[in-house]
Chains A and B, each alone.
Chain A
C-alpha cells in the first residue's frame, strides 16, 4: 500500500536490509567533549548570523534570534494615547494570561485559595503547545530512580547552565504533580500489573516519562479545561494581551487586551499577573518548520520585555530531531521522541545508524543535520526536502506486535491517512523548531524580575538551561503553574496596587527611536502568523 514515491522506495529497501542486524548494534553515548564539538559545528544555535543583540531596555546586550529581535524593535499595537487606563473593564485578584497547561494550572491553584481569578486567552481555552505534547511527563517515581538522578539528567541536558534552584523545584515537585493530574482523572498509561508505565526520552539514565498514549498533552488539557469549567473559573477567549500595565511603583498591575472579533482594546486591572503565553515556534526561526501551535508567536516575551522583565537563554532554540519531512502536508509536525524511547532507530539513506537515539535533542538534531548536510547521506523527497529515516517498524519487532497501535494511535492514524503504515514502513524526519529553551527569568515561585508579574511554562526560562529534556516541559508548566498560582493568590490578599500607567511602553519606543532601531513597519506583539497567499505555498510550515 506504500505511498512513498519510487525514488524513496530504494532507500527503504536498504533500511529493511539492515534492520535486523542494526537492532542489536550498540552506539556508545558521546562524551561531554564530543557533545560540545558536535553542537558547535552543527547546531543552528551556533550558526553565524542567526541572532543579534537587543539594543535597549533591561535586556540590552543579550542576543536573541533575529525574528524575535524584530518584534522587540517593533511598534506597539496599542495606541497608548487612546487607551483610557481609568476605564477598567474587569478587576481581579489574579489575572492569568494564556489558556494552555501553565495558565490552567496556575488558575486552578489560585482559585482554590480563594483568589478572584480570570483566564484570558488569544484563541480557545486549551489552544496551546500543551495540547500537542505527545510523549509524556517526567517524574522520578521508579524504584531505582530518584529526584537526584532527575536533577542530574536535567542539568546535563541543559548543558549544565540551568539555574540550580529551579531544577531543584522541578524535580522535587514532579511526583506530586503526577499524582495531582491522576487525581483529576488523567488516564496515564499502566502496565499489566497496574503500575504506571514509564518510558525513556533522550538524556535520561532511567525510564521516567509517563504517558497517555501519544495524546498525553491533549488528555491532560481536556481534563484541566473540564475542571476549570466545573470550578466556575472565568475564561475570556479570543482576547490576547497586547501590553502589560504597571502601577506608579513599577509593579505589574494588569494588562491591555484586544478582542480579536471586535478589535476593541480594553483594560483589566489585577493585583497579580501570571503570564503563560507559551512559545515562539510560529516565528520560524532560521526558516525552520515547527511543531508548534498556530498561536505560538512570542507575545508574552514581547510585552514582558517592554515592561522590564529580564529574559534568559533566549538565544537557545530547541530543534526536535524528529519533525515530519514527508508527506509535505505534515511537514514539521512532531513525531514523538517516545518512538526512540521504544527502540526506533535513526537511520540514514543507506540504512546505517549515525548516533545513539537516546542522546539529548540538541545532540541528536545536530547529528542529523551533519548526516544530511555535511555527509550528504540523507534521503531527498520529490519536492526537494531532505531527511533521515525513523525506523518505526523496529518497535513492533522489539516490543511486540501491536505496540504501535497501543502506544502511538495518534501517529499511526496521522500517517495512515496519507497511505503510510508506520508499523511496516519507516517515517522520514528532519529537525524541526520545537521549543524555546529560555524565556522570562523566574525565581522558584515563578516570579519575574518585575514585582507581581509571574511567568509559567514555555514563556519562562532558566530551568531547562540551553536544552530541555523530553518530558520536562509538561512537568515544568505544572510545577511552576502551581507554584505561581499559589504564591499569587497568597500575595493578592495583602497587596494594593497604585495608579496604572503605560509609560514603559512609550519610553521603550522612544529609546528604540533614539538608538535608531525602531521598526515602524512591524507591529508587535504579532498575535497570529500570516500564512496568506503565496505564503501558503512555502514549504516552511504545514
Chain B
C-alpha cells in the first residue's frame, strides 16, 4: 500500500470519488475503499451473476455492463451496481410440457414484443447472442434456445435493459429444461443400472465390502484394473471384479 511504484486511479462509486490502486477488479476496488458486501458479491469467479455492474468511462457515451468480480477498475470509471433485477417468471410443471408445440410462446407470450434492437446481446457479460435466442424462441426452436443460452448466469443484465420488457433468462431457462427433460433422451443402460440396484444386484458385494477389514479393502483396491485414456474398444480383463472375489470365497 505504501509502495510508491503502485499507481493510484480515481473511481466513482455511486457517484462518490475514491482513490484506488490500479489493477484491482471493481469488486476488490470497492472493498479497498471500505465496502463490506452483503449484496453484489457471490462466487467472485464470474459464474453466479450477483455482481452485475454498470459503468461509464471518460470520452465515451456508452453505458457498459460488466461483472464486478471480473472487470478491472479503470481510471475515472463511474460505477453503479444492480444486485437484483426483477424478472417475470411463470409457474409450470415441467412434466406437463411434454410434446407441446409453441410452448415458449404460450408461457412467455411477451417474446413477440421483441424489437430486435440487440441491446440484450450488447450488454450480456457472458457474450451470449441473446437476441438470436429470442428470435429462435419466437420460432419455437427449443433446442437452439437451449444451446445458445447455455452459458447464461441469470444476472438479468438483458432483462433490465430490454425495451420490450422480456425476461430473457427465464425464457431461456424454460427452454433448457424442456430440452434437457423432453428432447434429450437417457440411455436404456442407465435405467437398467437403476433397476439392477433396486433389485439388489449389488447388495451382496457392497455389504461384504463394508464388512471386511480395511486391510482387505486395501488389497482389493490395489487389484483394480485402470481404464485407459483411449478406451473406445477397451474391455477389462476381469469384468466381474470385484463381485467375483466374494463369490469365490463363499463357494469355497
**A residues with CB within 8 A of B:** 29, 31-32, 123-124, 126-127, 131-132, 140-141, 143-144, 146-149, 151-153, 155-156, 160, 164-165, 167-168, 171-172, 175-176, 178-179, 182-188, 190, 194-196, 200, 205-207, 213, 215, 218-219, 222-223, 226-227, 229-230, 232, 238, 260-261, 291, 293-295, 328-330, 333-334, 343, 398, 409-410, 413-414, 417, 528, 530-537, 541-542
Contact = CB atoms under 8 A, between A and B. Distances in A.
Contact of A532 (B31, B193, B231, B236): B31
A334 B45 contact: yes
B150 A127 contact: no
Contact of A194 (B176, B187, B224, B226): B187
Interface in B179-195: 179-181, 184-187, 189-191, 193-194
Contacts of B151: 215, 409-410, 413
Contacts of A172: 197, 202, 206
B129 to A, nearest CB: 14
Contacts of B35: 532
B186 A532 contact: no
Given A152-B221, A531-B28, A127 B193 contact: no
Contacts of B234: 144
B242 A149 contact: yes
Contacts of A186: 180
A261 B83 CA distance: 13
A171 B205 CA distance: 12
A298 to B, nearest CB: 17
Contacts, number: 227
Contacts of B224: 149, 152-153, 205
A196 B187 contact: yes
A295 B48 CA distance: 12
A124 B150 contact: no
Interface in B208-228: 209-211, 214, 217-218, 220-222, 224-227
B92 interface: yes
B146 interface: yes
A143 B127 CA distance: 39
Interface in B91-115: 91-94
Given A182-B180, A184-B177, A528-B36, A229 B236 contact: no
A185 B221 contact: no
Contacts of B206: 147-148, 151, 168, 171-172
Contact of B1 (A146, A531, A534): A534
A131 to B, nearest CB: 5
Contact of B194 (A123, A176, A190, A343): A176
B179 A260 contact: no
Nearest to B41: A294
B83 to A, nearest CB: 9
Contacts of B225: 205
Contact of A542 (B44, B126, B241): B44
A185 B153 contact: no
Nearest to B186: A182
Contacts of B70: 329, 414, 417
B21 interface: yes
Contacts of B220: 152
A175 B194 contact: yes
A345 to B, nearest CB: 11
A160 B69 CA distance: 39
A176 B178 CA distance: 20
Interface string B165-178: 00000000100111
B161 interface: no
Contacts of A535: 31
17 contacts: A124-B42, A127-B42, A127-B43, A144-B239, A149-B242, A184-B180, A196-B190, A205-B227, A215-B150, A219-B150, A219-B176, A229-B89, A329-B72, A410-B46, A528-B36, A531-B28, A542-B69
A227 B173 CA distance: 11
A147 B202 contact: yes
B150 A213 contact: yes
Contacts of A176: 194, 197
Contact of B243 (A148, A295, A413): A148
Contact of B32 (A293, A398, A537): A537
Interface in B127-168: 127, 146, 150-151, 153-154
A106 B48 CA distance: 21
Given A185-B180, A229-B91, A536-B29, 13 more contacts: A146-B205, A149-B241, A164-B211, A167-B210, A179-B191, A182-B181, A229-B89, A329-B72, A531-B36, A537-B32, A541-B44, A542-B44, A542-B69
Contacts of A146: 202, 205, 243
A537 B146 CA distance: 40
Contacts of B79: none
A418 to B, nearest CB: 9
A132 B185 CA distance: 26
Contacts of B209: 148, 151-152, 164, 168
Given A160-B214, A185-B181, A222-B154, A175 B94 contact: no
B3 to A, nearest CB: 10
